[in-house]
Chains A and B, each alone.
Chain A
Amino acid sequence: MVASAAVRLFGMWASPAVRRVEWALKLKGIEYEYIEEDLSNKSSSLLEFNPINKQVPVLVHNGNPIVESLVILEYIDETWKDNPILPVDPLERSKARFWATFVDVKCREESRKAFFMEGEEKEKAIENLQVQLKALDEELEGKKFFSGDHIGYTDLAVGWMAFWLGVGEEAAGFKANYDLKFPNFSRWMKDFLAEPVIKDNLPPREKTVEFFRSFKQLGSCTKVNQK
């Protein structure tokens, strides 16, 4: 166990990118100090540690800041070598990174559009999201988790979809219909959320739905500054 003062995490309770980092820290048994940020009134520490993007999460280790949640995950894996979350083989590592980037760039884009937009644009976004879910579903064929028998980097990267996709749907009134069409993905979502490290580290659902509901009413795409 690492002394808490050495590791600090700047976060925001509703942010999936922040939870992603917390899941990794907890999987590794790393103790850390958590600092909740009010993103409408960012602390001088946050702005000092992440001057370029001014976003959470920021991991500060021995005074050194690391930003971008996927970069943070790799940093955590390379610094604390117990319970590795990335595979050793370079080809497997490239696949893990591929799927992480896919969900972070592509799925996030379409789910954001499905959440904020209406009419034809919303329909198109839901359609695109379903194509993406199909790819993820196929990737899970024959596997319990993306990383194999245990959760790893890819599961942590895709993990936001297991909880926040449903939250977004409820808050904005759309359905990606994953339970019927994508049996592997649907099964994975349940198994992932049942994992102790994940189950015990999710924001309260009702409160999160409310948060995103009012977020949508604000009508802006950039309010929750998270990466």
Chain B
Amino acid sequence: MASEKGVMLLDFWVSPFGQRARIALAEKGVQYEYKEENLTEKSELLLKANPVHKKIPVLIHDGKPVCESLIIVEYINEVWSDKAPLMPSDPYQKAQARFWADFVDKKVYDCGSRLWKLKGEEQQAAKKEMIEILQLLEAQLGDKKYFGGDSFGFVDVAFVPFTSWFYSYETCANFSVEGVAPKIAQWAKRCMERESVAKTLYDPKKVYEFVCFLKKKFGVE
């Protein structure tokens, strides 16, 4: 990799993990070059920047790669520390933020994928699990404006990209996020009022089109 000055993001348009990085960069007002990857034919640059996982997103800052979306968000927060802090300063609050971001990481994407990949009893089990996940997150959010309190923070960045997938989850598994976790639904709307989020997330119907494409590709239904 050339040690070019500047910031580049290797990404895939609909990836919620990539969107975490995009939202963090936008919150911090960082200029960067976006490079769309073809995941069926990964670029030399991607394979060199992330030889271990060969996955997006990868942030390349002055020629040095940073991999894994939550690690990228922490990196962005630490480097561009003068604006829009995404982490609380108190170590205990930070630990809480890391726990919940990790919770989103481990639970939401996998369970969400099972909602559109599976049918019958297995899908019902995934639906039950997703409702539990959403309700746990709702309990954590409580009556706060954001997971970060008054300021948009680490957990908000970690979770908000998945809100554009809610429509797909609801349609595939026949339930309503607003019905099972109304505070989460309201939080999602509040987040969309932020420019960083509104400019990054795709229309839920467009995400659903992508899910339908994946379903066909995987021979589901």
Residues 52-84 of chain A: 1 if any B CB is under 8 Å from the residue's CB, otherwise 0?
100000000100101110011011001100000
**Would you give the shortest CB distance from B80 to chain A, in whole angstroms?**
10
B92 x A71 contact (CB < 8 A) = no
Given A75-B91, A91-B75, 4 further pairs, Cβ under 8 A: A72-B95, A94-B74, A98-B68, A135-B52
**Would you give the shortest CB distance from A101 to chain B, in whole angstroms?**
6
Q: Does A97 contact B (CB under 8 A)?
A: yes
Residues 102-114 of chain B: 1 if any A CB is under 8 Å from the residue's CB, otherwise 0?
1100000000000
Residues of B within 8 A of A64 (CB): 92
Interchain residue pairs A-B with the least CB separation, the first 5: A78-B91, A90-B78, A75-B95, A94-B75, A66-B95
Query: How far is A94 from B57 in the complex, measured between Cα atoms in Å?
Result: 14
Query: How far is A138 from B68 in the complex, measured between Cα atoms in Å?
Result: 19
Query: How far is A93 from B103 in the complex, measured between Cα atoms in Å?
Result: 21
Query: How far is A91 from B71 in the complex, measured between Cα atoms in Å?
Result: 10
**Would you give the shortest CB distance from A46 to chain B, in whole angstroms?**
16
Q: Does B67 contact A (CB under 8 A)?
A: yes
Q: Does A215 contact B (CB under 8 A)?
A: no
Query: How far is A45 from B81 in the complex, measured between Cα atoms in Å?
Result: 38
List chain B positions with a Cβ less than 8 A from chain A: 51-52, 61, 64, 66-68, 71-72, 74-75, 78-79, 91-92, 94-95, 98-99, 102-103, 136
A71 x B91 contact (CB < 8 A) = no
Given A102-B52, A135-B52: A74 touches B98 (CB 8 Å cut-off) = yes
B92 x A98 contact (CB < 8 A) = no
Given A66-B92, A74-B94: A90 touches B68 (CB 8 Å cut-off) = no
Given A97-B71, A98-B71, A102-B52: A91 touches B66 (CB 8 Å cut-off) = yes
Q: Which of B67, B95, B99 contacts A98 (CB 8 A)?
A: B67
B78 x A71 contact (CB < 8 A) = no
**Would you give the shortest CB distance from A187 to chain B, in whole angstroms?**
21
B99 x A67 contact (CB < 8 A) = yes
Q: Which of A171-226 contact B (CB under 8 A)?
A: none
Identify which of B52, B75, B79 gathers the most chain A CB atoms within 10 Å of its CB: B52
A-B contact pairs, 18 of them (CB 8 A): A61-B92, A66-B95, A68-B98, A71-B95, A71-B98, A71-B99, A75-B91, A75-B92, A78-B94, A90-B75, A94-B72, A97-B71, A97-B74, A98-B66, A101-B68, A101-B71, A102-B52, A135-B52
Write the chain B residue with the least CB distance to A59. Answer: B95
Given A71-B99, A102-B52: A93 touches B74 (CB 8 Å cut-off) = yes
Residues of A within 8 A of B74 (CB): 93-94, 97
